Amino acid sequence: MRLGILFFLGFFVLIAGTHATARDGIDDLLHFSSKQEQALVVKVANSNVIVLENGRRVRLIGIESAGLPLRKTVDLDKNGKAIEHREDVAIPLEEQAITYAQDLLEDKKVKLEYDVQSMDDDGKYQAYVFLPDGRMANVELLRQGFVYLKIRPPNIKYAGQLRLAYQEAKREQRGFLSN
């Protein structure tokens, strides 16, 4: 009888250990976000796209850019000379967004964390980008109201944090979310 109980307990421990290993493997497949890498950001292409030292372009997950700042146009008179216009002292929000993203990310060694889909439909890598101080750039850009919230399943690991940052910007009327 004792031998039977010992055999059963041994078998149970063996099965439980195997099950945990298999479960961990499945978790790794389901949570691709454990894939991380360090990289140097050399350029901000848009408020939601960065360029790494190796030339790779990475879109920040969960956010959407409002677009690039409008280029200034030059009006010409009938003689082809430039007409001077009084400059508007207000800096366009698109320009503020790019400047903020550049200050936040350019020339910084960041940690990229990939979620379930590491590439978007356009073939760009997509990741959560963590700054050297541990803050997530995706969240910081949303918190300032310089980008729009755009959650695209299956990349939802930090959806809650992104939503909270968006709600904060909306409540505080920051950036593009101001009246």
* pTM more than 0.75: no
Instruction: Identify the domain containing residue 6 by its residue range.
Output: 1-30
- Angle among Cα 101, 50, 162 to the nearest 5 degrees reads 60
Residue 15 and residue 39 in one domain: no
At residue 33, the 3 state secondary structure works out as helix
Residue 59 and residue 19 in one domain: no
User: Residue 87: its pLDDT value, please?
Assistant: 57
Whether the predicted pLDDT of 169 surpasses 80: yes
Number of domains in the chain: 2
Cα–Cα distance for residue pair 171/66, rounded to 1 Å? 19
Confidence of residue 29 (pLDDT cuts 50, 70, 90): very low
User: Rounded to the nearest 5°, which phi and psi values hold at 122?
Assistant: -90, 5
Residue 26 and residue 41 in one domain: no
Higher pLDDT, 133 or 31: 133
User: Residue 90: its pLDDT value, please?
Assistant: 61
- Residue 55 is given by DSSP the state S
